Amino acid sequence: MENLINGKSEMSSINTATWMEGLDPKLLLNGIIMPGSHDAGMSQTDHCGAGAVLNKGIVQTQALDMLGQLVAGARYFDIRVDYDHGRLVSYHRTGDAGCNGQPLVNILEQAIAFIDAHQSETCILKFSHIRTNRNNEREIKDRIDQFLASIQYRKYFYNNRHYDVNLAQISLGACSGKIILVFDYPEHISARSGRFRYYDEDKNIDSAHGEIGSCDPNIRVYDSYSNTVSLEKMKQDQLAKLITYAGLNKNYLFLLSWTLTPDSGTFLTSSIKNLAKEANRALEQLSSGYFRQADIPKPNIAYIDYVNEQTARSIISLNFL
The whole-angstrom separation of Cα 32 and Cα 44 is 30
40, 112, 182, 262 from 178: Cα distances, Å: 18, 9, 13, 35
Q: Is the pLDDT of residue 209 over 60?
A: no
Q: What is the pLDDT of residues 132-166, one digit of tens each?
A: 999 999 999 999 999 999 999 999 999 999 999 99
Tell me what the mean pLDDT of segment 196-212 comes to: 66
Tell me what the mean pLDDT of segment 58-64 comes to: 96
List, as one string, the DSSP characters of 205-222: --TTT----S---SEEEE
The whole-angstrom separation of Cα 259 and Cα 274 is 11
**For residue 35, what is the enclosing H or E element?**
strand 34-37
**For the chain, what's the residue count?**
321
Three-state DSSP state, 284: helix
What pLDDT is recorded for position 176?
98
Q: What is the pLDDT of residues 64-96, one digit of tens each?
A: 999 999 999 999 999 999 999 999 999 999 888
The larger pLDDT score, comparing residue 204 to residue 68, is at 68
Closest residue by Cα to residue 216 from 251, 263, 259: 251
Q: What is the pLDDT of residues 11-45, one digit of tens each?
A: 778 999 999 999 999 999 999 999 999 999 999 99
The whole-angstrom separation of Cα 45 and Cα 266 is 19
Positive/negative CA dihedral, 225, 227, 230, 236 = negative
CATH level 3 topology of 8-320: TIM Barrel (3.20.20)
Q: Helices in 162-230 by DSSP H: which ranges?
A: 172-175
193, 204, 205, 252 from 209: Cα distances, Å: 31, 11, 8, 11
